[in-house]
Structure 1
Amino acid sequence: MKMKVTHLLKLLLLSWVSMASLRRCFCNRNSSLQLNDDVLGLLVFKSDLHDPSLALNSWNEDDNSPCSWQYLHCHPVTGRVIQVSLDGLGLSGKIGRGLEKLQSLQVLSLSRNNFTGNISPELFSLIPNLIRLNLSHNSLSGRITIELTSIVSLRFLDLSENFLSGPIPDNICDNFSSLRFVSLAGNFLEGPLPTSLPKCSSLGGLNLSNNHLSGNPSFVNGIWLLTRIRILDLSHNDFSGSVPDGVSALNYLKELQLQGNHFSGSLPSDIGFCLHLSRLDFSDNSFTGYLPNSLQMLKFLSFLKLTNNMMTGDFPYWIGNISSLGYLNLAGNELSGYLPTSIGELKLLNYLILSDNRLTGKIPASLAHCSKLSVLRLRGNDFNGSIPEGLFDLGFKEVDLSRNGFDGSIPKGSGPLFDSLQTLDLSSNKLRGDIPAEMGLYSNLRYLNLSWNNLQSRLPPELGLFQNLTVLDLRNSALYGSIPEDLCNSNSLSILQLDGNSLNGPIPEEIGNCSSLTLLSLSHNHLNGSIPKSISKLNELSILKLEFNELSGEIPQELGRLDNLLAVNISYNRLIGRLPMGMIFQNLDQSALQGNLGICSPLLKGPCKMNTPKPLVINPFAYNIPMNSNNTLPEHSRFLRFPTIIAMAAAILIVIGVLVVSLLNASIRRNLSFVDTALESMCSSSQRSGSSVSGRFTLFDSRSSEEWVNNPESLFNKASEIGHGIFGTVYKASLGEGRIVAIKKLKTSYILQCPEDFDREVRILGKAKHPNLITLKGYYWSPQFQLLMSDYAPNGSLHSKLHERSASNPPLSWPNRFKIAFGTAKGLAYLSHSFRPPIIHYDIKPRNILLDENYNPKISDFGLARLLTKLDKHVTSSRFQSALGYVAPELACQNPRVNEKCDVYGYGVMILELVTGRRPVEYGEDDVLILSDHVRVLLEQGNALDCVDPSMTEYPEEEVLPVLKLGLVCTSHIPSSRPSMAEVVQILRVIKTPARQRMEMF
């Protein structure tokens, strides 16, 4: 069969040049020959594709008609193909010219694949009847050319989520008068809107979001003339200027989205005359002034978002007139005044977000009439009075009333809330009274923050009933009593903060049951007793704060085994003895130890005390003091008797200690800032955003199973660990139907803890689609853990092929090695040159080069450093230096200079390793071999081939030697001397070109 296909393609190629003469010869052909045009064109199109799932197996060259083939539709009369729909089949390659044979084609949809290359304008201009063209969610690049606009019959055009660049052709609407919908969203387009836009008079939908378009969109003489427009989305660009009146001319407008630009001035006063509006989003701009009164006329408006502007004036009293409102977000403005009682008229309201304004007064009791409310965020205002009891009778998922002036007690809640509530943040108020025991009934609560109140309460034992709680923050709330022993019964707690209270008694040994803890902070209390050894069971622990308590005894040596521990503070207790041997304890700052006069550390000048019994009798002869004949001390030595010396020394130390402590108290807060910085990096965003705690799942691959969507943790029940690295552990998991994916569970240390920041950075990585990159499928975020789902590479890593190969497996051949080097270079070049700013890998090494079934390289872990809160600390940490030999020398500096040349260095080391089969650093009995230095010396001696991997029995010297030289150039210690990755690709292309052709090129 393969021979038959090859023969057929050869015939097609030979006949393609003479296609015009063939048409003349067969001008009277019958319908069967016409059908063969479609068969031939589709087979040629298929021949250019990589089809990993064999989705196009039914496309058989033996058929006279393609009408029985999958994903096609034919005209019932003529039998010609009128529709080709190949959405989401995992196809890759270029869109070949075979499609131009389909002269009757009306619908072409190739979305959610991995097509690359430019969009050929000639191809689509030769399909005269094309009505619908959908190439969205691919990896197409280049510009939208003028010729593409000559498809006069086109009504639907979707080129979104690609890598198209340059301006939108200014005459795009000169020939597209029949267009009904255009989406160019999610590309890299720039420049102003085309001046011909008003000529698209039939346009009903226009989506240009998530580009780099700029200038003023010329509303009055441009966009406001699109009178048939229903959906207009210009969000997340660089547009600026004002949005003047005139929008009322858009009688059919349903959705208007201008968020994420630089618009300023007042909102158009006639916006309320677009009576069909259902969605309005002007957020993240610089709009000023009052909310237009005309908004109250929008009876169908269900979504209104004006967050992060500079809107002023009183909160509108007429808000209750917008009866269809389900989502209202006015956060981050300067609105003032009271919440009107009319807000209770919004019976369909599901989200109410008014955080960070200047609203004051009491929450109206009528708000409890909004029975569908699910999310309530009023953080950062000046509300006062008590929290209405009726609010806690609703089925909220999230309540954030933090940073206000509420007083009174915490409402007890009732049945609907017990089952629904996931996030409760009442921090930074004036609440008082007991923590209600009913809180133990919140079965789905994941985030509880009551910090910075005046509760004057004990910790209720019911807190141990929470089965899903991941964050418990009760700092500075005037709590007293002991820590309940059953606080960790649920095993789900990730962050526990009880600082700044009056808690006493010992730290319970049961704290070791909190197996998911990443932060344990019990500082500034009156806790006593010893530090329990059970803390050593907390393998995920990153931050431990125990300062300013009355803890005594020695620090358990077992704590040294906590590998994830990044910050510890045990200052100002009564601890003695040696520090644990773990790396973190041996590198603690003095401020984390001071105030413990018995701890053994070179940073502390006080005496070192151990838990050993004191001797009952001191033998004076042991100190070589001469004795008189009557066995008494000489007169001149009696003054220096041992107990006397001890007493004098102790008195001096006490005086010095008092002086030192007095001086240190003034600056102790500043000295403890290193732990506070680490704490803020992990917890601050969780406290700011209650929604983050409930977990967020985002899926880029719509074919994934519902089990993964609804319960991402379930994957680990059937997953197997296949590797781990500096960013986390990788698991292999099945999503059913034979689909295998890789799941990376990220290490939470230094990872962005704000879900919005995490989402933004991961979405950028999700747009990176290239044949030599592992495709990101989706992610799951929660404070407890973060997951990334990506393609699974069945052939393992390059490291395993080079250094872990069994005797039964053949070594890598030179063609495969060159393919790996070339493909990796193309993938890195794509990351370096297709994004602004470029995506830098930081950790190029063979373990991160995965291989598919054909030994095509797939770069993994690219861009994960974007998810770090503090890149400089991570780059210079011991974990990052675990990639010994691959790290560019400039990263070892105190102030590292990080750019794409760091990846060039790691790539150079990798290809040296690829050619030689040796590790970048090898240790002998008496010396250390640095691979780049070793190759350089042999090359200078004329013996470069001596370093080639001996397992390769055959290889072309004319390719191996230039690749070795390229590796040495890439590993230059001077970053500016290294080539760019685009230049590396060109060099490798020349190396692979046969010698005769190279001569012709030059």
Structure 2
Amino acid sequence: MRKMFWICLFLLLAGVIIGESLNPPLDDDVLGLIVFKADLIDPDGKLASWNEDDESPCKWKGVWCNPRSNRVSDLVLDGFGLSGKMGRGLMQLKFLSKLSLARNNLTGSIGVNLAQLTNLRVIDLSENSLSGPVRNDFFEQCGSLRSISLASNKFSGQVPDSLVSCSALGYLNLSSNQFSGVLPSGVWSFNGLRFLDVSDNLFEGEIPKDIEGLYNLREIKLRKNQFTGQVPDEIGVCALLRSVDFSENSFSGSLPSSLQKLSLCNELNFHSNLFTGEITEWIGELGSLQTVDLSKNMFSGAVPNAIGNIQSLQVLNISNNRFTGSLPASIMNCQNIQVLDASQNSLTGFLPTWVFQLGLQAALFSGNKLTGSINGAFTSSINISHQNLQVIDISHNELSGEIPSDIGRFSSLRFLNMSTNSLTGEIPNTVGKLKALDSLDLSVNWLNGSIPVQIGGATSLKHLILSQNSLFGNIPSSIATCSFLTSLILSRNSLSGQLPVAMAKLADLEYVDLSFNKLTGTLPKPLANLGHLVTFNVSHNQLQGELPGGVFFNTISPSSVAGNPTLCGAAANKSCPAVLPKPIVLNPNSTGSDPDSVPQILGHKKVILSISALIAIGAAAVIVVGIIFITVLNLRVRSTMSRSAASVPLSGGDFSSSPGTDTNSGKLVMFSGEPDFSTGAHALLNKDCELGRGGFGAVYRTVLGDGRSVAIKKLTVSSLVKSQEDFEREVRKLGKIHHQNLVALEGYYWTPSLQLLIYEYVSGGNLYKHLHEHEDGNRSSLTWNERFNIILGIAKSLAHLHHLNIIHYNLKSSNILMDGLGEPKVADFGLARLLPMLDRYVLSSKIQSALGYMAPEFACKTVKITEKCDVYGFGVLVLEIVTGRRPVEYMEDDVVILCDMVRGALEEGRVDECVDERLQGKFPAEEAIPVVKLGLFCTSQVPSNRPDMAEVVNILGLIKCPSESQEESEL
């Protein structure tokens, strides 16, 4: 096949050079189409019938031939799913009259001069991805062309002036491209032109006044460009016009009265321009009009009474103007009208009583100055069928009265907005009959009574907005039958009672606002299962108890639950009380012989003590004893440490690999190979070799005799290590832990007064320096992918440790080391297992060095320390890595806690503040935002609400999008 292609191409080029004096060995049309096909990609095999061995292409799919000449006349490949480019093979089709390649995926520019095909009448290249400017000579020999469509591509630049050569054009469609500049002036004088569409481009300039040549024009569409100036009076000469669309430009001035001559016109669309002036009675002369759209201009004055003369009118949109007065009653004569939009004007008077008698589909009067009761409009149409009416919007007026129960007769109603008026009374039960209702907004009125139980009958509801009324009573459980509900806004009423548990069945809920009511009780726990929530505001109620669990409620803004004094949980900034048995009251009649009774006599009365009181007394006693113990222990630790520092061995001979214990020489064990410390022992007290200091000890770099570097941690809490046997057992366990994201423990050294841990040396420094410091004073800039990989590596290492029942305890960015390949390695893991006497006193001494990373349960003696403490520290690390900010930052007059800052910024939509400013524009939001939310999830105040690290690894795997383009954008 490929060989045949090159043969065909050679013959084609030869034919172009030599001419047609010689008969080619293949049919010209076969040759041209095969070469054309070679430039295309045909994923669906639509061109499978195109075989170069055929003598004629006339039976090929998409190909039509003239029966007399047997030459190709039409090539129609619309919607074939083809991609690739338009090749030179087309130039061989000398008798081609119609070329239609619409609705494909062709790319590149038009690389051939189709105008040289002198028999070509129709070119349709619409709905592809062709781009670039149209070549200047494209239209030079286009006298035969009758129809050109380049619509819905990516063409740019100016339209070549050679277009004026196409004077016989009847159809020109350049819409939905990126053409700019001024249209060639000759276009406005094409007297054969019937259809002109240049909409959705960047054309500018004015319409010339001498457009009389367009007297055959049926449709003119200039929508969404940058045209300016006035509509010329001469437009009336184009008496055959059926459709005029000048919308979304910058036309100004008043509409010319000559438009009344367009008696055949059925569409006038001038919306979104700068037109001014009044619409006078001339509009009544346009008896064929079906659509009139004058919206979003600056028209003023009264709506002309002559509108009623247009009995064919179906759509009248005069919204967003400056019309005044009342709508003329003559509109009742427009018996075919379906949409009447008069919103956002300055109309006055009552809501027209005839408005619902017209069989409308949509009636929109919002944002006017209408007054009076709405009952008249509804009751006057009591005998009229309302099967068509789908939209009623009378919001933002000054209407009053009650909502009539007749509203239930509008069975097709999908949108009902009566908000921001002065309506009174109760919400009628008949709203439950509106089975098709999608949105109900009655907010900002004076409605009272309760929310009707029948609301559950509106089973299609997606948006229920009843805020800022005087509603009272319970939220009905029947709301659960509105299973499509996404917005529930009931704020600023007097609703009371508990939230119905049935709300948890509304799986699509996104926006909930129940603030400023009198709701009581606890929030139903099943609400945690609502997976699409974006906001949930229950502030300023009387709710109590614990917030529901789950990702959303653990990251909700405190402002969303404020004003509920007895509500507790992470977002409420109030810890929930521990679950304790009911108080046991001592028997007042006890004689004291019962061992379970502890009566105390004060005067002649016995004091009744609960378990809570006993616990309080016991806790006080423990605190007193603890203070004494800590004081003694602290003095002993300092004394022992000073003696051990003075007795550190300085010569290589002091180290021994002997299995025995020698208090003078110590015991050195390496887990692999025989060590040689002959050149490194001095480094233990050499400050120049110190790498850093942490809560458990100082770390030094030492070079072994074989040239290999190791890191040695000298434990500063050695006095707490009482048993060599226990110490060695735990160290050997740690030495067996291997993971690519953990710093390997290679050996240890033991004496009763000194313990050393020997680790692999990691050369890349720690994560803290990468995020916050740099040698030249500037912080290094980690890319998003590097940050994500660091987070993932830390997560995997912690998941591995937790699988082995090891808690890190001291997680922070300075304990995350970076190797030469940018991989994170977690250090200092498992050290707490080496210290049998480790308690809250020792751990509390680490808090200063790990400030901001410590889980809140460290401050509570009664809460068990679990692996969830590591999850909390990991969550803080995630936020530190993504934001590039420290966990705690001290300002002149404030202290910024990273978790709180990010949670508030995310809740208020300030996403940019959640990501390091050095990454702006260089990170995928679809990854960064879920990672931030995961970090907040991990920092839940309640340990049981935090995920396991294995779950975290899985979540990160789901978040990561394997996009090579993103990686390239960061290079």
TM-score by shorter chain over 0.5: yes
What is the identity, as a one-letter code, of the residue corresponding to 1:471? H
Change in CA separation of 1:63 and 1:424 when aligned onto 2, cut-off 3 Å: same
Distance 2:480 2:280 in 1: 52
Q: Name the structure 2 match of 1:575.
A: 566
Alignment of 1:852-1001 (within 5 A): 896=917, 971=970
Q: Name the structure 1 match of 2:742.
A: none
Partner residue of 1:326 out of 314, 320, 331: 314
Change in CA separation of 1:199 and 1:7 when aligned onto 2, cut-off 3 Å: same
Distance 2:465 2:498 in 1: 19
Alignment of 1:204-353 (within 5 A): 204-218=194-208, 220-221=209-210, 223-353=211-341
Give how far 1:434 is off. 2.1
Q: Name the structure 1 match of 2:390.
A: 397
1:514 pairs with 2:506:
yes
Contact in 1 for aligned 2:785/2:967 (Cα 8 Å): no
- Stretches of structure 1 lacking an aligned partner (at least 5 in a row): 594-598, 602-607, 618-629, 634-641, 647-840, 848-877, 907-963, 973-1002
Partner residue of 2:30 out of 39, 58, 61: 39
Change in CA separation of 1:525 and 1:415 when aligned onto 2, cut-off 3 Å: closer
Give how far 1:567 is off. 7.7
1:56 pairs with 2:47:
yes
Q: Secondary structure at the match of 1:82?
A: strand
Q: Name the structure 1 match of 2:6.
A: 10
Contact in 1 for aligned 2:480/2:503 (Cα 8 Å): yes
Q: Secondary structure at the match of 1:54?
A: coil
Q: Name the structure 1 match of 2:400.
A: 407
Contact in 1 for aligned 2:219/2:242 (Cα 8 Å): yes
Change in CA separation of 1:43 and 1:845 when aligned onto 2, cut-off 3 Å: farther
Distance 1:87 1:136 in 2: 9
Distance 1:883 1:127 in 2: 66
Distance 1:527 1:892 in 2: 34
Distance 2:145 2:921 in 1: 42
1:732-754 Cα deviation digits (max 9, x unpaired): xxxxxxxxxxxxxxxxxxxxxxx
Q: Name the structure 1 match of 2:152.
A: 161
1:418-443 Cα deviation digits (max 9, x unpaired): 2x111111111111222221211111
Q: Name the structure 2 match of 1:104.
A: 95
Alignment of 1:763-802 (within 5 A): none
Q: Name the structure 2 match of 1:943.
A: none
Partner residue of 1:26 out of 2, 22, 26: 22
What is the identity, as a one-letter code, of the residue corresponding to 1:244? P
Distance 1:267 1:78 in 2: 54
Q: Name the structure 2 match of 1:200.
A: 190
Change in CA separation of 1:471 and 1:26 when aligned onto 2, cut-off 3 Å: same
Count how many residue pairs are aligned between Structure 1 and Structure 2: 631
Contact in 2 for aligned 1:171/1:196 (Cα 8 Å): no
Alignment of 1:172-183 (within 5 A): 172-173=163-164, 175-183=165-173
1:493 pairs with 2:481:
no
Distance 2:882 2:919 in 1: 17
Q: Percent identity?
A: 32
Contact in 2 for aligned 1:844/1:886 (Cα 8 Å): no
1:431 pairs with 2:431:
no
Change in CA separation of 1:112 and 1:842 when aligned onto 2, cut-off 3 Å: farther
Contact in 1 for aligned 2:349/2:371 (Cα 8 Å): yes
Q: Name the structure 2 match of 1:378.
A: 365
What is the identity, as a one-letter code, of the residue corresponding to 2:48? N
Distance 2:416 2:41 in 1: 50
Q: Secondary structure at the match of 1:347?
A: coil
Partner residue of 1:471 out of 437, 452, 463: 463
Larger radius of gyration between Structure 1 and Structure 2: 2
Q: Name the structure 1 match of 2:105.
A: 114
Give how far 1:609 is off. 9.7
Change in CA separation of 1:269 and 1:565 when aligned onto 2, cut-off 3 Å: farther
Give how far 1:900 is off. 6.6
Q: Secondary structure at the match of 1:45?
A: helix
What is the identity, as a one-letter code, of the residue corresponding to 2:363? L
Q: Secondary structure at the match of 1:149?
A: coil
Distance 1:79 1:424 in 2: 64
1:83 pairs with 2:74:
yes
Q: Name the structure 1 match of 2:935.
A: none
What is the identity, as a one-letter code, of the residue corresponding to 1:386? S
Q: Name the structure 1 match of 2:495.
A: 503
Q: Secondary structure at the match of 2:11?
A: helix
Q: Name the structure 2 match of 1:124.
A: 114
Change in CA separation of 1:53 and 1:22 when aligned onto 2, cut-off 3 Å: same
Contact in 2 for aligned 1:576/1:600 (Cα 8 Å): no
Give how far 1:536 is off. 1.6
Partner residue of 2:178 out of 173, 181, 188: 188
Give how far 1:146 is off. 2.6
What is the identity, as a one-letter code, of the residue corresponding to 2:362? V
Distance 2:420 2:272 in 1: 26
Distance 2:788 2:33 in 1: 39
Q: Secondary structure at the match of 1:361?
A: coil
The two structures have a TM-score, normalised by structure 1, of 0.58
Distance 1:891 1:363 in 2: 47
Change in CA separation of 1:885 and 1:893 when aligned onto 2, cut-off 3 Å: closer
1:532-582 Cα deviation digits (max 9, x unpaired): 222222222221111121222x223525565885786111123154x14xx
Change in CA separation of 1:469 and 1:892 when aligned onto 2, cut-off 3 Å: closer
Partner residue of 1:482 out of 474, 478, 487: 474
The two structures have a TM-score, normalised by structure 2, of 0.60
1:455 pairs with 2:442:
no
Give how far 1:399 is off. 1.0
Change in CA separation of 1:902 and 1:482 when aligned onto 2, cut-off 3 Å: closer
What is the identity, as a one-letter code, of the residue corresponding to 1:284? S
Distance 2:99 2:161 in 1: 25
Distance 2:233 2:117 in 1: 42
Distance 1:189 1:893 in 2: 40
Distance 1:551 1:383 in 2: 40
Distance 1:211 1:570 in 2: 49
1:897-926 Cα deviation digits (max 9, x unpaired): 88877689x9xxxxxxxxxxxxxxxxxxxx
What is the identity, as a one-letter code, of the residue corresponding to 1:282? F
Q: Name the structure 2 match of 1:148.
A: 138
- Stretches of structure 2 lacking an aligned partner (at least 5 in a row): 587-599, 604-611, 617-782, 790-874, 886-910, 928-963
Q: Name the structure 1 match of 2:343.
A: 355
Change in CA separation of 1:47 and 1:439 when aligned onto 2, cut-off 3 Å: same
Distance 1:102 1:285 in 2: 46
Contact in 1 for aligned 2:882/2:916 (Cα 8 Å): no
Q: Secondary structure at the match of 1:193?
A: coil
Distance 2:293 2:340 in 1: 10
What is the identity, as a one-letter code, of the residue corresponding to 1:138? N
Q: Which moved more, 1:12-21 or 1:348-357?
A: 12-21
Alignment of 1:581-600 (within 5 A): 585=571, 599-600=574-575
Q: Secondary structure at the match of 2:370?
A: strand
1:705-761 Cα deviation digits (max 9, x unpaired): xxxxxxxxxxxxxxxxxxxxxxxxxxxxxxxxxxxxxxxxxxxxxxxxxxxxxxxxx
1:768-823 Cα deviation digits (max 9, x unpaired): xxxxxxxxxxxxxxxxxxxxxxxxxxxxxxxxxxxxxxxxxxxxxxxxxxxxxxxx
What is the identity, as a one-letter code, of the residue corresponding to 2:262? C
1:548 pairs with 2:540:
yes
